[in-house]
Structure 1
Amino acid sequence: MKIAYLIQTYKNPEQIYRLVHIIKKSSPDSFVLVSHNFAASNLNVELLENLPDVKVVSAIGGRGNFALVQAYLEAIDWLLNHKIEFDWLINITGQDYPTQPLPEIEKFLAETTYDGFFDYFNVLSEKCTWGAKDGRDRYFYQYWWSGIELAKWQRGLLKPLRLFINNIQPWLRIDFSYGLIVGMRSLSTPFNENFLCYGGSYFKTISRNCVQYIHEFCQQHPELIDYYKKTRLPDESFIQTILINSGLFNFYPRNMRYIDWTNSRHGHPAILTIDYYPKLIRDDIYFARKFEIDRDSKILDKLDERIMQTTVQGSYSK
């Protein structure tokens, strides 16, 4: 039983090094693929690749657009093309952290009858956590990205205009969350009664069979990639839509992660501090986010103690 960890990163190199080290300490046989945006920060590749089964690749950064999904797909391609052996793929970011010894999740995955663990729902249904209107606005419109970033005061000033335009008619949408973008309602979408649009959290644990299916589907249907490249927040729909519509797999509708979205704005969850520790040690939570080592390193120290307390040491040493 071998897990591949895809870590998508862009900031806090010290925190990235720490994350990779704790994964390799707790799970020496795992494979770690770091997909890093070098335009945002530098990263000492040699320091990481000196560890066994750790590889660093370059990725283009971006929020709200297709960049995150593109990096995910490129990572899948890399793993399969390099014939990396793994049974499960877990994607996290450089601001995630394990919350318990990784042999625990390895044991859990070795025994499960599910093919994956992630949130999912029909974006046009009442189960959509964003609301069906937002689900439609995200994925049934094709957006133009202006590249213009608006300051907080500018977003506040223009908010009444945005709400007026978005609520008075069905054809045009304006959004400021990730820069100024303008969307037109798509006259033709890839979605129908046999291919529904699904959404959910970007963070997933999926079997190798699912990874292989995504890889082959994208090769056979590049038009879906082209469509999603013009949607808003495609990372919260693209993979779910492919996997759920396949009808081939059995998924558990939770991703086994802890994220605090209380008072969240523009996709920024709460920064987890030592005060959150009691909430992170539930048996059904294996990872949590977001952590900021400069804001509170004590929570990471506490998690390290828990992770290593019962981890069976392998051949790897820091």
Structure 2
Amino acid sequence: MRVCYLIQTHKNPQQIYRLINLIQTSSPECQIVISHDPTFCELDLSIFPKNHNIHLFFAKGGRADFSMVQSYLDALHWLLKNQIDFDWLINISGQDYPIKPIPEIEAFLATTNYDGFLEYFDVLSSASQWSIHEGHSRYFYQYQQLSPTVSDRLQKILKPLKILNYIQPWIRFNCSYDIRIGFQGKTPFNAAFKCYGGSFFTTLSRQCAEYIDNYANNNPNFIEYCRRTSISVEFFMQTILINSQLFNLCNDCKRYFDFTNSQNGSPNFLTQKDYESLAKSQAHFARKFDLALDPDIFDLIDRHNSPNQELIANTYHS
């Protein structure tokens, strides 16, 4: 049984190296695909022993637009086209870290009866983790980007315009990540094809991964629709897989997040104060971490997972 780890990265190279090294050392037979946005930093994988199981690609980053989904699809399509051997696909970011030993995670996947682990909910139901208004505004409107970036000062100036979203049904205005305006139109959703939301971070069997790749290749109109939604990363895979009704899916993405008092839907950075909660969690990975903010939390997790794990995780410094 072989796992492929798809790591989408954009900053903090030393933290990325630590993550790659930990996974590679813990699971020498795994596949590692790094999809890196070089806008903020370069990666030098020559520091690792030459290994044909590590693959580096360059991709555009972003959260509000379709870029993260596209880089995921590109990496997935490359894996399948090149017949890379894997049984499970785990996607994480460079700011994630395993809070269970990698061998334990892989042993769990080798014996599970589930086909995938992902968070999901009907965005227009009472079970949604968002308000129905938010889910409807994200995925039932088609957006045009007016500006690719928004400074904190500009966001404060434009924020009052969001009142437009609550006093009429025709347009939506969003300035959380960039400046964009959405227009109501025809959607792909109906009683037989519902809109499902959830975390972008999933653990999927090869069968689920192949289905997503086939669906994306055979449904260009759906892909084009998704490109113009807001925060497409948080509904794309859920909507495809849940509507298929083909898989035994566990409504648990096996990720630990802390959204307490967070802003713009971004989880809080995890530090030593979160260690006890992380140690008790049944999740496999947690996010977000910052090596510069609190390096000790990484060592605490490694010592908890294995007495020798801290030395393993830091061998790239030598």
Specify the TM-score bucket, using the shorter chain as the normaliser.
Answer: over 0.9
CA displacement at 1:22 relative to structure 2: 0.5
Instruction: Name the structure 1 match of 2:278.
Output: 280
Kindly provide the amino acid, as one letter, of the partner of residue 170 in structure 2: W
Inter-partner Cα distance in structure 2 for 1:278 and 1:108: 22
Instruction: Name the structure 1 match of 2:88.
Output: 88
Q: Superposition pairs for residues 218-229 of structure 1, below 5 Å?
A: 218-229=216-227
- Maintained 8 Å contact 1:48/1:55: no
Inter-partner Cα distance in structure 2 for 1:310 and 1:86: 27
Instruction: Name the structure 1 match of 2:67.
Output: 67
Instruction: Name the structure 1 match of 2:240.
Output: 242
CA displacement at 1:50 relative to structure 2: 2.3
Inter-partner Cα distance in structure 1 for 2:196 and 2:7: 24
CA displacement at 1:309 relative to structure 2: 3.2
Report the secondary structure of 1:295's partner residue.
coil
- Maintained 8 Å contact 2:146/2:179: yes
Structure 2 residue 158 is the aligned partner of structure 1 residue 145: no
CA displacement at 1:128 relative to structure 2: 1.1
Inter-partner Cα distance in structure 2 for 1:158 and 1:224: 31
Describe the superposition over 1:216-248 as per-residue Cα deviations: whole angstroms up to 9, x where unpaired: 111110111100000000000011100001110
Report the secondary structure of 2:72's partner residue.
helix
Describe the superposition over 1:50-107 as per-residue Cα deviations: whole angstroms up to 9, x where unpaired: 2451111111112210000000000101111121111100000000001121111111
CA displacement at 1:49 relative to structure 2: 6.9
Instruction: Name the structure 1 match of 2:46.
Output: 46
- Maintained 8 Å contact 1:26/1:307: no
Inter-partner Cα distance in structure 2 for 1:93 and 1:212: 21
CA displacement at 1:310 relative to structure 2: 8.0
Inter-partner Cα distance in structure 1 for 2:262 and 2:215: 34
Inter-partner Cα distance in structure 2 for 1:268 and 1:50: 35
Instruction: Name the structure 2 match of 1:301.
Output: 299
Inter-partner Cα distance in structure 2 for 1:113 and 1:276: 31
Kindly provide the amino acid, as one letter, of the partner of residue 242 in structure 1: I
Instruction: Give the CA RMSD over aligned residues.
Output: 1.8
Partner residue of 1:200 out of 198, 202, 208: 198
TM-score calculated relative to the size of structure 1:
0.94
CA displacement at 1:162 relative to structure 2: 1.6
- Maintained 8 Å contact 1:26/1:308: no
Report the secondary structure of 2:280's partner residue.
coil
Report the secondary structure of 2:56's partner residue.
strand
CA displacement at 1:3 relative to structure 2: 0.6
Report the secondary structure of 1:309's partner residue.
coil
TM-score calculated relative to the size of structure 2:
0.94
- Maintained 8 Å contact 2:144/2:228: yes
- Maintained 8 Å contact 1:11/1:94: yes
CA displacement at 1:155 relative to structure 2: 2.0
Inter-partner Cα distance in structure 1 for 2:120 and 2:17: 31
Inter-partner Cα distance in structure 1 for 2:36 and 2:48: 12
- Maintained 8 Å contact 1:139/1:232: yes
- Maintained 8 Å contact 1:90/1:205: yes
Instruction: Name the structure 1 match of 2:169.
Output: 170
- Structure 1 window deviating more from structure 2 (22-31 vs 277-286): it is 277-286
**Structure 1 residue ranges without an equivalent (≥5):** none
- Maintained 8 Å contact 2:60/2:71: yes
**Structure 2 residue ranges without an equivalent (≥5):** none
Describe the superposition over 1:136-184 as per-residue Cα deviations: whole angstroms up to 9, x where unpaired: 0000000001125333233223322322x11110001001111110000
The 3 A distance-change label for structure 1 pair 214 and 129 is same
Describe the superposition over 1:235-267 as per-residue Cα deviations: whole angstroms up to 9, x where unpaired: 000111000011100111111111111111113
Inter-partner Cα distance in structure 1 for 2:307 and 2:86: 26
Task: Figure out how many residues of one structure are paired with residues of the other and give that number.
Answer: 313
Inter-partner Cα distance in structure 1 for 2:38 and 2:153: 30
- Sequence identity, in percent? 45
The 3 A distance-change label for structure 1 pair 189 and 213 is same
- Maintained 8 Å contact 2:256/2:281: no
